[in-house]
Amino acid sequence: MGIGIVIRDSTSDIQVVLAAQRSFVTSAFLAECYALLRAINLCIDMGFENVEFEGDAKAVVDAVNAMGSNFSCSGQIIEDIRQVKLLHSRWKFSFIRRERNRASHHTAQLALPLDIETVWMEEGLVVVLPYISCDKSCVL
């Protein structure tokens, strides 16, 4: 499976686009968990302090925001995310509808044939730009 991460600033302008292959991932839930964990690590590496992570996998967002231990088969990844969340009080994890997350999904599809993780800074991936514009204008 591929993962796609699109990081935008408060005005929705692109900061980073990341595409990566995760061949060992066996479920969509696990792919979403790995994408979120990678996005978190990318934000840490870039020194971002006020971050809102938006994802269309409601089960993942709910698991990250839930209280109590997670003993599911993917619980360790959820616990890792929660531990980082504790260190960053200004970080928020929100559910959004798929219609507002097209850029990330398109980037994930583009990641499928990649052999290495690929990152585009500021300009973003040209082929994803129309999806980003659509995500910006999408009304809930």
Q: What is the pLDDT of residues 3-18, one digit of tens each?
A: 888 888 888 778 888 8
At 140 the pLDDT is 40
At 80 the pLDDT is 92
Q: Which domain holds residue 79?
A: 2-134
What are the angstrom distances between the C-alpha of 42 and each of 51, 59, 106, 122, 140? Answer: 11, 22, 19, 14, 28
Q: Is residue 139 part of a domain?
A: no
Q: Is residue 121 part of a domain?
A: yes
Q: Is residue 124 part of a domain?
A: yes
Q: Is residue 63 part of a domain?
A: yes
Q: Is residue 115 part of a domain?
A: yes
**How far apart (Å, rounded) are the C-alpha atoms in residues 18 and 108?**
9
Q: Is residue 140 part of a domain?
A: no
Domain total for the chain?
Answer: 1
At 15 the pLDDT is 85
Q: Is residue 16 part of a domain?
A: yes
CATH number for the domain spanning 8: value is 3.30.420.10
Q: Is residue 37 part of a domain?
A: yes
Below-70 pLDDT ranges, the chain: 71, 123-140
**How far apart (Å, rounded) are the C-alpha atoms in residues 40 and 53?**
8
